[in-house]
Amino acid sequence: MYRITKANEIAKNIFLFDVEAKRVSEFCLPGQFVIVRSDKDGERIPLTICDYDREKGTITLVVQVVGASSLEISKLKEGEFFEDVVGPLGRPSDLCEMSKEELKQKKIVFVAGGLGTAPVYPQVKWLHEQGIGCDVIIGAKTKDLVILEDEMKKVANNVFVTTDDGSYGRSGMVTKCLEDLVAEGHEYNHCVAIGPMIMMKFTCLTTKKLNIPTIVSLNPIMVDGTGMCGACRVTVDNEVKFACVDGPEFDGHKVDFDEAMKRATIYKTVEGRAYLKAKEGATHHGGCNHCGGDE
């Protein structure tokens, strides 16, 4: 059991938890993730590590309510427990493996879409601790869904917020913001884009045009997170990779996003579940109560 030392709703339906997970906190690096279960019947849910405190033995997780399991997690309060937290899983960010000299050559822009702001934060913070500055674009649908802006400002050179509806910061998608920044004279030679699959896909199309190498962090369907199930397989540069052990970060210009997006639908999206129901007919039981029988 893993005690929750802090639980906050930081934006509508987005929850932040500090959780005691000593082994994870001691060994994790930016880019890695954990798998959690809220209770003994819970689904295994992969979550990127947003922050960690090696002394207190805690890690910070951010969860957005998208389905039954994340709804259960969102109900957890300070002083309560996660049934399971396992990690750190996946490979640390490539940035963590570069030398200071290499890092100093980089003019890095992070592109964070929605909840993707959470996994971007530890990378920016880590760079800051190494004395490396960078710029961050935070994109959100609307003002109320912008998260971690203040925290990010403390560790980034510049933070540019853009909202789809123009309710806060700049107006428009992150891709527009990135193009505008480059047009305004900002120079970047390394981009890290983390967020919804569709946002990463279009960011990569943009950075390809702008000739900026781009790393993305994928969060596909997973069960064990240790390379055992293969549910998370993605095609990168025409090769099949397992996101849990080979990733989660990959060269964004080589990821087959269309396939990855289709694979992400199977149990997760309304369309995917409806399609599954139609295909399965009599054997369909709502993905085992997962979607309540798709009523």
Partner 1 sequence: MDMMKRIPVREQAPKVRATNFEEVCYGYNDKEAIDEATRCLNCKKPKCVEGCPVNIDIPHFIEHIKNGDFVKAYETITDSSTLPAVCGRVCPQETQCEGKCIRGIKGDAIAIGKLERFVADYAMEKGLKPSVQKEQNGKKVAVIGSGPSGLACAGDLAKLGYEVTIFEALHKAGGVLIYGIPQFRLPKDTVVQKEIDNIKSLGVKFETNVVIGKSLTVDDLFEKEGFDAVFIGSGAGLPRFMGIKGENANGVFSANEYLTRSNLMKAYSGESTTPIMIGKRVAVVGGGNVAMDAARTALRLGAEVHIIYRRSEKELPARAEEVHHAKEEGIIFDLLTNPVEILTDENDWVSGIKCIKMELGEPDQSGRRSPVPIDGSEFDIDVDTVIMALGTSPNPLISETTKGLETNRRKCIVTQEETGQTSREAVYAGGDAVSGASTVILAMGAGRKAAKSIDEYLSSKS
Binding site for partner 1 (CB under 8 A): 23-24, 27, 37, 41-44, 68-69, 72, 83-89, 223-224, 226-231, 233, 235, 240, 245, 259, 262-263, 265-267, 272, 275-276, 279-285, 287-291
Q: Please choose, from the candidates 166, 184, 175, 237, the residue with its C-alpha nearest in 3D space to the C-alpha of residue 203.
A: 175
For partner 1, which is the closer residue by CB, 41 or 150?
Answer: 41
Q: Please choose, from the candidates 129, 124, 121, the residue with its C-alpha nearest in 3D space to the C-alpha of residue 108.
A: 124
Shortest reach from residue 87's CB to partner 1, in Å? 7
Cβ contacts of 96-100, under 8 Å, gap ≥ 24: 96/29, 96/30, 96/31, 96/126, 100/130, 100/131, 100/132
For partner 1, which is the closer residue by CB, 153 or 285?
Answer: 285
Q: Which amino acid is at 271?
A: E
Shortest reach from residue 41's CB to partner 1, in Å? 6
For partner 1, which is the closer residue by CB, 182 or 231?
Answer: 231
For partner 1, which is the closer residue by CB, 43 or 51?
Answer: 43
Shortest reach from residue 256's CB to partner 1, in Å? 8
Shortest reach from residue 281's CB to partner 1, in Å? 6
Q: Please choose, from the candidates 69, 30, 11, the residue with its C-alpha nearest in 3D space to the C-alpha of residue 194.
A: 30
Calpha distance 278→94 (Å, rounded): 42
Shortest reach from residue 200's CB to partner 1, in Å? 18
Calpha distance 128→106 (Å, rounded): 13
Q: Rg (Cα) of the chain, in Å, rounded?
A: 19
For partner 1, which is the closer residue by CB, 5 or 235?
Answer: 235
